Amino acid sequence: MRGRRDGAALAREYLEALAHQRRLAPATVRNYGRALELLLALLGEADLAALEPAQVRRLVARLHAGGLAPRSLALLLSAWRSWFRWLVRHRGFRANPVLGVRAPKAARPLPKALSVEAAQRLLDERPDSAVGRRDAAMFELLYSSGLRLAELVALDLEAARELAQGEVTVTGKGARTRTVPVGAKAREALRAWIAVRAQLAAPEERALFVGARGRRIARWVVGARLAAWARRRGLAEHVHPHMLRHSFASHLLQSSQDLRAVQELLGHASISTTQVYTHLDFQALAKVYDAAHPRARRK
């Protein structure tokens, strides 16, 4: 009983230190307490001071097999790691057995992309107002060239000449610069916007896209305008700027099957980041299979 009894007492001392010395919030202390209680329950009669990293990994595997999510496991490990750090510093434990133990990686959620039909439905509109023309140009450019929202907002009016020639140079993550093509529909929408930009832009404003006050448009405004635009066009899903980048990548990959080219156009440092779009492509093929194959259809 020594390991269990000593462990419970040490856990109480540690939680008191969290509450009174580090002055953590009561809810945080309770979360730590639940994590330590679970560890002691899993250890049973085992001696806490003799715990080894291999045993911790087995405990994590056991909890993961029981359905605990990677994020929850990471929080548990963080609490256990902090406790053993305290035990080493203040109670003479020889080592921290949780150091180096990591939770399983969470499954990476697939990016949400519009179908080709939904993208066309979203963008097949040519408004007459200056604000509408600005919005059309922004959304066409996001979809046409796969720009990140920050890259779009950072464009200056100086880029208009380059855009008219069918390409645009942007600086993305990691200060990496890339030049991407601009499609005919986007060029048409940009010409329409530049023709009326002076109606909204403040004097000497450098930004290509401006907001209601005539200055560089804010990111949140782009997102809000796109969401409202999509609702007016009858799209059920919430459409955000990054979804147009996902749609650009997914549709281009479906047509070209050239993963390296899509990587370059997106500005990804690693091709593994781009490979997530191959799963979207497979999902589209799977839907075709389910709809067409005589042995796939349910009766």
Q: How far apart are CA 60 and CA 72, in angstroms?
A: 11
Alpha-carbon 293 to chain mean position = 35
CA distance 158 to 171: 15
Cα 226 to Cα 250: distance, rounded to the nearest angstrom: 19
Q: Which one is catalytic: 187, 197, 246, 268?
A: 268
**Please, which residues have CB within 8 angstroms of residue 188's CB and are 6 or more apart in sequence?**
none
Catalytic residue selected from 173, 176, 213, 219: 173
How far apart (Å, rounded) are the C-alpha atoms in residues 4 and 26? 25
Catalytic residue among 148, 178, 185, 215: 148
Can 246 be counted among the known catalytic residues? no
Question: What residues have CB less than 8 Å from 108, skipping those under 6 apart?
Answer: 276
299 is catalytic: no
The single-letter code of the amino acid at 142 is: L
Is 20 catalytic? The answer is no
Kindly list the distances between the CA atom of residue 169 and the CA atoms of 100, 177, 201, in Å, as whole numbers in the listed order.
Answer: 42, 7, 22
5 as an active site residue: the answer is: no
Q: Are 60 and 101 in contact (CB under 8 A)?
A: yes
The residues facing 207 across adjacent strands are: 156
173 in catalytic set: yes
Q: From the candidates 134, 197, 216, 245, which is the catalytic residue?
A: 245
**242 classed as catalytic:** yes
Q: What is the rounded CA–CA span in Å between residue 178 and residue 170?
A: 6
Cα(226)–Cα(119) distance, integer angstroms: 12
Work out the number of other CB atoms within 10 angstroms of the CB of residue 143. 25
Positions marked catalytic: 148, 173, 242, 245, 268, 277
